[in-house]
Structure 1
Amino acid sequence: MPPDRDALPVELRRFVAYLETERRASAHTVRAYLVDLGQWSAYLAEAGQPVVPASPALVRGFLARQAGEAGATSLARKLSALRSLYRFLVREGLAPGNPARAVASPKRPKRLPEVLPEEEVAALVEAPAHLTAPLELRDRAFLELLYGSGLRVSELTGLDVADVDLPQRLVRVLGKRNKERIVPFGRTAAEAVERWLDGGRPVLAAQPGHAGHEGALFLNWRGGRLTSRSVARRLDRWVLATGLPRHVHPHVLRHCFATHLLGNGADLRGIQELLGHASLSTTQRYTHLDWKRLAAVYDAAHPRARAAAAPRRGGAKG
């Protein structure tokens, strides 16, 4: 649980204000920073040390203390938070240097994204296909968009009706750090969204909770904007109905979008643009999931692979 920001030292409060105003960080990001910085502040107070100046030894001691309760990924995030904090303080002339820069990041295990086979995704997305109740029409539409456009679930729930261009089959997405991108979607997704807009959304828009959510593309049963938690809960329902032998987080459909595009010949940089990744290295992790296709490309392209596959001419002479 994040600490009361008013109880934090003034340097930390200024940094959090910077995150909210200049960086326009999401509420989730700010909350994570508050947790990490609150722990750092408590550690310094226990050691009788101020926020400024600090030392690499204090940073290492803090991470060593946290290592008993946090894994490598969490420790790396905490170190990143401290680096960002002191980078800001140095820039503002409030600290003489960044003590966290001299501390090496803990090695994090490389985890490949979870991906479902194409046939399992198809079964999941099409599970509500023959149902006509408003909630089922909505679910089919957002499942098609999640898989068909690779949207983050927060991007999906943030969509307004005006963001969708059905004739052109394009959706305008506001991604991380308010970065806008235009993403295409397929004909089946367009048809599902159109059915939702014509036959499902008007019913939910007539509910009392619709006031203040007039522009939202996806609505809950009360008429309000659909939330990420509701998307996950409804997805669980369709996973159960489909009989898939696994839990499926909404973000898995984004991984499936990227991996299946790559497996069918899409360009990696094009996938990067569609996903809204700032760095190509983030997108490159999907190449590790597609060994079958890469092996086929190798067999078809490498001279020695082709030579091995070709029948030998003639036979050995004795």
Structure 2
Amino acid sequence: MNKTLKIHNKSDKPYNIVLKENELIEKCIHIQNSLPGFMKDYFIYLKNAVATSTRLAYLEDILFFCNYLVNETDIICSDNIKDITLEEFNKIKSRDVNIFLGEYCSRYYKQTKKTVLVFENHNRALARKKASIVSMFKYLYRSEQLKNNITDGFNPIKLPKPQPDAIKRLEIDEVAKMIDAVEKGEGLTEKEKVYWSKTKLRDKAVLLMFVTYGLRLSELQQLNISSFNFSRGEFKIYRKRNKEVLMPLNKTCETAILDYINNERANTSYTSDEEDPLFLSMQNKRMTTRAIRELVKKYTSIAMGTTKDNGYSPHKLRATAATSLIQYGFSIYDVQNLLDHDNVTTTQLYAAHKKNVKREIVKNFEWLEEETE
């Protein structure tokens, strides 16, 4: 008999965020139960050292690596990942990991009953897998479970240096076109207009929140009506590593959200004792991240005059917010704070337009006037 999961939430976090966190934790536990017992201390370390989403990503990579060791190498005698011994792990050399990352991971195959699937990992994905494996081997060495620190012998994985000019974002005039499209329905197909007529206030509020605050997709998707304190002009979000942050509401976003709540959302019949999601789907459920992505792609493609497939993701609207704020004269440190960048160098990438500002300044600042004949 399937039992309904009920979480006793003693924190002041919204139930939906606690539930999402618990889903990730359950996935972590499931993977841990499939891995060798000697990694238990490492699992405890991960639990307290990184965000839950990062912990899950690391565990998935380590499970993938162990599966490779069992099925593709002669290092491991057992046919079961769970039965891998610490003695066998001590036999692993840097070269073995380099072959895994450089040869196997870059292109591997999985067979199903009817097809053979080909998987490819480029350098960014390989670098993440390497980070997961480095983390594990370093911990096992520090805890004196492994005799040698083999991570020094891992081959470097070169990542392309981020180029400011290559950052994809909407220009300020394209943002205006996007908002105009969501207000008037221009550029939508007849079928899309049927849905638009029922969700245009919601869609407008979603897009304005993205381009104003540079919210991450998960931060916006998790918003509840109770996240907002309109009398104080602020709303609460939960960022990476469970950071609780109060954000000030500007008049544009406040008007758009209240317009949606009072005139469009009010017609829905959503009921729940534990949560009050802000943005609802046509089925009167919390919008999924996939639905929000599709919404953003649709309207950004109209703004840019391109196909829907070439529309932008919510993360590109985060970049749009960053570049627009800098363009309006806010410092990179202010923008870093608003967008929750760990490192200001990330924010600096969005200041690429400054070089164009400098060019215009110099161009229009002549000490000597040209002589006219």
Under a length normalisation based on structure 2, what TM-score does the superposition of the two structures give? Answer: 0.70
Instruction: Name the residue aligned to 2:131.
Output: 80
In 2, are the aligned partners of 1:134 and 1:203 still within 8 Å (CA)?
Answer: no
Alpha-carbon spacing, 1:94–1:199, altered in 2? closer, same or farther (3 Å): farther
Gaps of 5+ in 2: 1-27, 77-87, 108-119, 186-195
Instruction: Name the residue aligned to 1:67.
Output: 106
Query: Residue 196 of structure 1: CA displacement?
Result: 1.2
Q: Following the alignment from structure 1 to structure 2, what is the Cα–Cα distance between the partners of residues 54 and 279?
A: 35
In 2, are the aligned partners of 1:53 and 1:96 still within 8 Å (CA)?
Answer: no
- 213, 222, 246: which one aligns with 1:149: 213
Q: Following the alignment from structure 2 to structure 1, what is the Cα–Cα distance between the partners of residues 233 and 149?
A: 48
- 251, 257, 275: which one aligns with 1:193: 257
Secondary structure (helix, strand or coil) at the match of 2:285 reads coil
In 2, are the aligned partners of 1:235 and 1:250 still within 8 Å (CA)?
Answer: yes
**Residue type of the partner of 1:61?**
I
Query: Residue 215 of structure 1: CA displacement?
Result: 2.5
Alpha-carbon spacing, 1:295–1:101, altered in 2? closer, same or farther (3 Å): farther
Instruction: Give the superposed CA RMSD.
Output: 3.1
Instruction: Name the residue aligned to 2:61.
Output: 36
Alpha-carbon spacing, 1:258–1:16, altered in 2? closer, same or farther (3 Å): same
How many residues were matched structurally? 302
Query: Residue 54 of structure 1: CA displacement?
Result: 4.0
In 1, are the aligned partners of 2:174 and 2:304 still within 8 Å (CA)?
Answer: no
2:122 is aligned with 1:58: no
In 1, are the aligned partners of 2:299 and 2:311 still within 8 Å (CA)?
Answer: no
- 177, 181, 184: which one aligns with 1:127: 181
In 2, are the aligned partners of 1:166 and 1:194 still within 8 Å (CA)?
Answer: no
Query: Residue 119 of structure 1: CA displacement?
Result: 0.8
Superposition map of 1:1-318 within 5 A: 5-12=32-39, 15-16=42-43, 18-19=45-46, 21-23=47-49, 25-27=51-53, 29-45=54-70, 46-49=73-76, 50-52=88-90, 54-65=92-103, 66-68=105-107, 69-90=120-141, 92-96=143-147, 98-111=149-162, 112-129=166-183, 133-204=197-268, 206-207=269-270, 210-211=271-272, 214-239=275-300, 242=303, 244-245=305-306, 246-296=310-360, 299=362, 306=365, 309-311=366-368
**Residue type of the partner of 2:33?**
D
Identity of aligned pairs, percent?
25
Query: Residue 152 of structure 1: CA displacement?
Result: 0.5
Q: Following the alignment from structure 1 to structure 2, what is the Cα–Cα distance between the partners of residues 15 and 289?
A: 44
Alpha-carbon spacing, 1:310–1:91, altered in 2? closer, same or farther (3 Å): same
Q: Following the alignment from structure 2 to structure 1, what is the Cα–Cα distance between the partners of residues 207 and 303?
A: 13
Query: Residue 25 of structure 1: CA displacement?
Result: 2.9
Q: Following the alignment from structure 1 to structure 2, what is the Cα–Cα distance between the partners of residues 260 and 250?
A: 15
Alpha-carbon spacing, 1:279–1:54, altered in 2? closer, same or farther (3 Å): farther
Alpha-carbon spacing, 1:102–1:290, altered in 2? closer, same or farther (3 Å): farther
**Residue type of the partner of 1:157?**
Q
Alpha-carbon spacing, 1:230–1:120, altered in 2? closer, same or farther (3 Å): same
Q: Following the alignment from structure 1 to structure 2, what is the Cα–Cα distance between the partners of residues 10 and 188?
A: 54
